[in-house]
Amino acid sequence: MRSSVRLPSLRAVAGSIAALWIASASAAAGAALAASIPLASAPTQEAAPPPALPGAENQPGRDEMTPALVDAVSRGLTALRGMQNADGSFGRGRYGRHVAITSLAALAFMADGHLPGRGEHGEAVARALEFVLANSTESGLIATEGSDQVMYGHGFATLFLGEIYGMNPQDTRVRDALVRAVQLIVTTQNDEGGWRYNPVPFDADVSVTICEVMALRSARNAGIKVPKETIDRAVQYVRECQNPDGGFKYMLRGGTSDWPRTAAGVAALFYAGIYEDDAIDRGLEYLVRTALPGSPGARRTHYFYGQYYAVQAMYLAGGQHWDRWWGAIRTELLASQGSDGGWIDQHHGSAYATAMSLIVLQMPKRYLPIFQR
């Protein structure tokens, strides 16, 4: 994640977005939303069943869960629960009361089956949900006052709402906030097909773009319609960000490859409904060359962010990709867990690192709808 200019006021941003949304909705965006279709067309009753896909969703790898992993997750969830703030949020210091970290923490609990009113940590999820809903504006933007890089937070918060609505579709408050959040993502896609830090369609980068693509996939899985054109344009943008070495650059105007955004780029293609493609194959090969946990020279830049997406990419690829990466990252994360049960990230804080680690370690449980196909 890179730094950006701090927004002067959430209300000012929300007001400008509302104007943009109204103008857009009166023309093409509104029509597209009304006539939107899923990411992949549903087969008719007469159609033959689709061929089995290679991902690990329905094809578990060897010895995915171990007693050591189960114990580490239990201690990690307890530690994460202790990091929750009085208002239900997660994050402290520079990243205090952060909707992205709050949403990721809630997803970490949900990955173990905890929901509002259900499970040992259900109350923590309920409090996090109240915090996110309290910071959902009429324009659709989900952010706290004075926050920067708001589309990161908005993307992760929309993902959280999509997952919780998919698991509890009776909550109309969640549905209303989710619909508004999706509409904001659709109307702020830029001409290149991507998204950037702020909710205005001026420029884009591949890192923020995957946040929005994953959020849209979660919403679509939960029954919220997403315009196919939005996904098609995002796919084209992600493709154009790939370098000849298989890695992904940060923005279209050039740059070197790096493994965290390569992981994000490959995951974006998978979540857009593309499962077999040369771009995916080359991206996976780049990840193995540069970032396989435990291998000599493996890069650790933006470690938790990168592994969050890399493990998803390998999980969706399945087979040997999943078996090899899963065993390596499991060993590495268990070895780096603190005595208090949490993980540490010097830049973004312990709540962020612990939430990301727990989401990764619980992926084989397959509880979250986004990890099911």
- Give the model's pLDDT for residue 325: 97
- Give the model's pLDDT for residue 373: 63
What is the phi/psi pair of residue 118, to 5°?
A: -145, 125
Looking at every residue in the chain, the average pLDDT score rounds to 87
- Give the model's pLDDT for residue 5: 32
Task: State mean pLDDT over 313-340.
Answer: 96
Torsion angle of the four alpha carbons 214, 217, 219, 221, in this order, in degrees rounded to the nearest 10: -140
What's the pLDDT tens digit per position in 256-283? 999 999 999 999 999 999 999 999 999 9
Q: Are 330 and 62 in contact (CB under 8 A)?
A: no
Residue 137 CA to residue 141 CA, distance in Å, equals 5
Task: State mean pLDDT over 306-320.
Answer: 96
Q: Are 351 and 83 in contact (CB under 8 A)?
A: yes
Asked if residue 339 has pLDDT above 70, the reply is yes
What is the phi/psi pair of residue 300, to 5°?
A: -120, 15
Q: Are 154 and 141 in contact (CB under 8 A)?
A: yes
User: Which residues have a Cβ under 8 Å from the Cβ of 336 and sit 6 or more positions away?
Assistant: 343
Asked if residue 14 has pLDDT above 90, the reply is no
What confidence tier does 3 reach under pLDDT thresholds 50, 70, 90?
Answer: very low
Asked if residue 152 has pLDDT above 70, the reply is yes
Share of the chain above pLDDT 90, in %: 78
- Least Cα distance to 4 among 104, 147, 135 occurs for 147
Task: State mean pLDDT over 130-158.
Answer: 95
Asked if residue 93 has pLDDT above 60, the reply is yes
Asked if residue 21 has pLDDT above 80, the reply is no
Asked if residue 348 has pLDDT above 50, the reply is yes
What's the pLDDT tens digit per position in 200-240? 999 999 999 999 999 999 999 999 999 999 999 999 999 99
Q: Which has more confidence, 283 or 15?
A: 283
What confidence tier does 300 reach under pLDDT thresholds 50, 70, 90?
Answer: confident
Model pTM? 0.87
Report helix, strand and coil shares of the chain as percent, to nearest 5. 55, 0, 40
What's the pLDDT tens digit per position in 61-90? 778 999 999 999 999 999 999 999 999 999
- Least Cα distance to 234 among 289, 192, 275, 277 occurs for 192
Asked if residue 341 has pLDDT above 50, the reply is yes
Instruction: Give the HSE-up count for residue 68: Cα atoms under 13 Å, Cβ half-sphere.
Output: 10
Q: Where are the alpha helices (DSSP H) in 168-297?
A: 172-187, 206-221, 228-240, 259-271, 278-291
**Lowest mean per-residue pLDDT among 92-96, 186-190, 236-240:** 92-96
What's the pLDDT tens digit per position in 26-38? 334 433 433 343 4
How is 56-125 classified by DSSP, letter by letter?
A: SSSS--TT---HHHHHHHHHHHHHHHTT--TTS----GGGTT-HHHHHHHHHHHHTTT-BTTBSTTHHHH
Q: Specify which residues 195 forms β-bridges with.
A: 205
What is the phi/psi pair of residue 108, to 5°?
A: -65, -40
Residue 319 CA to residue 317 CA, distance in Å, equals 7
SS3 at position 38: coil
Asked if residue 2 has pLDDT above 90, the reply is no
